C-alpha cells in the first residue's frame, strides 16, 4: 500500500524548494523550469522566432529556414575569404611591378628627347649657308656635312656649327704649316686655310702644349658665346674640331686682317705706314666695335662680357666694317652686366685692362667700357696703349691713357691725332676726332660708376 501522504509531502517539499529557488534566482530558475519542460517540435522560420531563441540562448533547430540561411551565409563568407585575399595579393604585386616600369619608361623617353635636342642638325638658313662652304667630309666619322647645336653651362647654342675632321683641317692648312700662320698669341695660332671646294677660312688651333685645361676652357667659351650669337659686328664661327688633345675653331676669313695690323704695321709708329686707315674708315670701325659691345651687354639675355677688347681682336671686313673676335676670355653674366662680377682673376691685355681689375675687383660691363675707351684713343692716335709717352710737363714717363687724358683735358686733342690720317687743323674731320676723344675720356674714367654704358656710348657715337 502506497504512502500517498509521504509521496505528496516529498513532492510538496520539492515544489517548495523549486519555488524558493525561483524566488532566489529567477533567471536560473527560469532556465531550470524551461529545461524541465519538453521542447516543442517547432521550427524557426521567422526573425521573431530567431530573436526569441537567441534571447533564450537556444540552438536553432537544424530544419529551420533561418538556420539554413545562417549556415549558408557563413559558408559563403568563409569561401569568399580565400579569393579576396588572392585578389589583393595579385593587385598589389601588379602595382609594385607596374609603377617602376612606368617610371623607367618615362626616364628613357626623357633621355631620348634630350639626345634628340642635342643631335647634330642643320636647322637654319645660316647653318645651311655655312654648310655649303665646307667639305663634304666635315663630320668626323661620317661622309656628310653636319651641324651641331651646342649647349654649355645651361645656355643653348642656337646657331648651327659644323663639326670638322682633323684630317680635313690638316689638309686645308698644309699640315698646319708655319707658312699659313696669319695670327698668334698665348692661345696658339691662326692659320689661313683653303678647303677642297676653294673656300678660304681662318683656323684657330688652340695650343696643347701649355695649360690644357685653360685651352679647353677657351674652346668651350668660344663655342658657348659665338655658337649662340649672331650679329653683323661679331666674327662668325663656322665650325669646330675636338679630336684628342686638339681643340680647333673655324671662322669666316676676313681678308683685311686685324685693326692692330692696320694701325701698327711697318714703320707705323714713325708715320711711315703705306696703307694707313683714313679717318672715315677709323670712325666706321669705332662705331662697329661699339655696336658689338652694346649687343653683348644689352642685346641678349643673359649678357656677355668680352674681357679682352683690343685692336688685335677687332677684325675688318671688306668694307672696313668691324668684327669683334676672340671670345676665349668671354663670360656669360648671370645678372646685371653693370653690377655682376664674373671673376676676381685679372684677365685681358695690359694697357686695356680697367684699373679696378688690378685691384682684385671682378670684371663687369664697365671694364669692357674702359677697354673700349682705350681702343678709341688707339684709333685716333695710332699708338699702342703700352707705348710709353713723355708728359708735356716734366720728364715723367706715362702710358698712353694718362697722356691722352691730360691732352684732352687741356684742350690739346688736335696735337695727338695720327698724322697719317692727314686731318686738317680746321674742318669737319677734326671736330669728329675731338668728339671721339671726348667719348674716350669718359670711358676711361678711373671710377667705374662714372663711365657710360655701351648703350650710352653708341648713342653719343651716333651724333658724330
Mean pLDDT of 166-185: 91
Q: Is pLDDT of 32 > 60?
A: no
Calculate what percentage of the chain has a pLDDT beyond 70: 61
Query: Which range is least confidently modeled, 126-135, 137-146, 205-214?
Result: 137-146
Q: Which residue has the higher pLDDT, 439 or 67?
A: 439
Residue 100 has pLDDT above 70, yes or no: yes
Whether the per-residue pLDDT at 453 is higher than 90: the answer is yes
pLDDT at 302: 85
Stretch 190-194: mean pLDDT, rounded?
93
| Average pLDDT rounded to a whole number, residues 213-234 | 79
Are 350 and 386 in contact by the 8 Å Cβ rule? The answer is yes
Q: Is the distance from CB of 302 to CB of 363 less than 8 angstroms?
A: no
- Give the number of other CB atoms < 10 A from CB of residue 89: 10
Domains parsed from the chain with CATH numbers: 125-252 (3.30.200.20), 259-462 (1.10.510.10)
Crossing angle for the helix pair 26-36 and 4-24, nearest 10 degrees? 130
Catalytic residue list: 308
Q: Poorest-confidence range of 144-148, 432-436, 442-446?
A: 144-148
Asked if residue 461 has pLDDT above 90, the reply is yes
Mean pLDDT of the chain: 73
Q: What is the pTM of this model?
A: 0.64
Mean pLDDT check: name the lowest of 104-113, 297-306, 309-318.
104-113
Q: Which residue has the cell 708735356?
A: 392
The answer, yes or no, to whether residue 336 has pLDDT greater than 90, is no
Q: Which residues pair with 316 in a beta bridge?
A: 322
Does the annotation place 68 within a ligand binding site? no
Per-residue model confidence (pLDDT) at position 147: 34
Residue 328 confidence (pLDDT) = 78
Which whole number is the average pLDDT over 52-70?
54
39 phi-psi bin (left φ>0, alpha ψ -120 to 50, beta other): beta
DSSP 299-327: SSSS-EE-----GGGEEE-TT--EEE---
pLDDT band, very low/low/confident/very high, at 386 (cuts 50, 70, 90): confident
pLDDT of amino acid 348: 61
- pLDDT recorded at residue 162: 84
pLDDT attached to residue 354: 93
Residue 129 is predicted with a pLDDT of 44
pLDDT for residue 394: 58
The reported pLDDT for the residue numbered 331 is 77
pLDDT at residue 292 is higher than 60? yes
Query: Could you tell me what percent of the chain has a pLDDT over 90?
Result: 36
- Average pLDDT over every residue of 390-399: 64
Q: What is the pLDDT of residue 332?
A: 80
Amino acid at each position: 500500500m502506497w504512502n500517498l501522504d509521504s509521496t505528496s509531502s516529498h513532492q510538496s517539499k520539492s515544489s517548495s524548494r523549486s519555488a524558493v529557488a525561483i524566488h532566489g534566482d529567477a533567471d536560473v530558475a527560469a532556465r531550470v523550469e524551461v529545461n524541465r519542460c519538453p521542447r516543442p517540435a517547432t521550427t524557426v522560420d521567422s526573425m521573431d522566432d530567431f530573436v526569441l531563441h537567441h534571447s533564450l540562448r537556444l540552438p536553432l533547430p537544424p530544419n529551420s529556414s533561418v538556420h539554413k540561411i545562417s549556415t549558408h551565409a557563413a559558408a559563403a563568407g568563409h569561401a569568399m575569404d580565400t579569393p579576396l585575399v588572392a585578389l589583393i595579393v595579385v593587385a598589389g604585386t601588379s602595382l609594385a611591378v607596374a609603377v617602376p616600369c612606368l617610371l623607367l619608361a618615362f626616364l628613357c623617353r626623357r633621355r631620348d628627347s634630350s639626345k634628340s635636342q642635342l643631335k647634330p642638325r642643320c636647322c637654319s638658313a645660316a647653318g645651311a649657308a655655312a654648310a655649303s662652304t665646307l667639305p663634304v667630309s666635315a663630320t668626323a666619322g661620317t661622309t656628310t656635312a653636319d651641324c651641331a647645336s651646342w649647349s654649355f653651362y645651361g645656355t643653348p647654342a642656337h646657331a648651327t656649327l659644323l663639326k670638322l675632321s682633323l684630317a680635313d683641317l690638316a689638309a686645308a692648312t698644309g699640315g698646319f704649316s708655319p707658312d699659313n700662320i696669319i695670327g698668334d698669341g698665348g692661345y696658339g695660332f691662326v692659320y689661313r686655310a683653303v678647303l677642297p671646294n676653294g673656300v678660304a677660312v681662318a683656323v684657330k688651333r688652340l695650343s696643347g702644349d701649355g695649360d690644357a685645361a685653360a685651352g679647353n676652357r677657351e674652346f668651350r667659351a668660344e663655342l658657348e658665346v659665338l655658337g649662340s650669337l649672331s650679329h653683323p659686328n661679331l666674327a662668325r664661327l663656322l665650325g669646330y674640331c675636338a679630336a684628342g688633345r686638339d681643340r680647333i675653331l673655324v671662322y669666316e676669313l676676313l681678308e683685311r686682317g686685324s685693326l692692330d695690323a692696320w694701325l701698327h704695321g711697318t714703320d707705323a709708329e714713325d708715320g711711315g705706314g703705306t696703307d694707313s686707315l683714313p679717318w672715315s674708315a677709323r670712325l666706321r670701325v669705332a662705331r662697329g666695335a661699339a655696336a658689338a659691345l652694346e649687343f653683348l651687354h644689352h642685346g641678349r639675355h643673359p649678357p656677355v662680357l668680352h674681357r679682352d677688347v683690343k685692336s688685335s681682336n677687332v677684325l675688318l671686313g671688306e668694307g672696313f666694317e668691324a668684327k669683334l673676335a676672340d671670345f676665349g676670355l668671354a663670360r656669360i653674366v648671370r645678372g646685371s652686366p653693370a653690377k655682376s662680377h664674373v671673376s676676381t682673376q685679372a684677365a685681358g691685355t695690359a694697357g686695356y685692362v680697367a684699373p679696378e681689375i688690378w685691384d682684385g675687383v671682378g670684371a663687369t660691363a664697365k671694364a669692357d667700357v674702359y677697354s673700349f675707351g682705350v681702343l678709341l684713343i688707339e684709333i685716333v692716335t695710332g699708338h699702342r696703349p703700352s707705348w710709353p709717352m713723355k708728359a708735356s710737363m716734366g720728364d715723367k714717363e706715362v702710358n698712353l691713357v694718362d697722356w691722352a687724358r691730360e691732352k684732352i683735358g687741356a684742350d690739346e686733342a688736335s696735337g695727338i691725332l695720327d698724322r697719317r690720317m692727314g686731318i686738317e687743323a680746321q674742318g669737319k674731320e677734326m671736330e669728329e676726332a675731338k668728339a671721339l676723344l671726348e667719348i674716350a675720356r669718359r670711358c676711361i674714367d678711373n671710377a667705374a660708376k662714372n663711365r657710360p654704358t655701351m648703350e650710352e656710348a653708341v648713342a653719343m657715337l651716333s651724333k658724330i
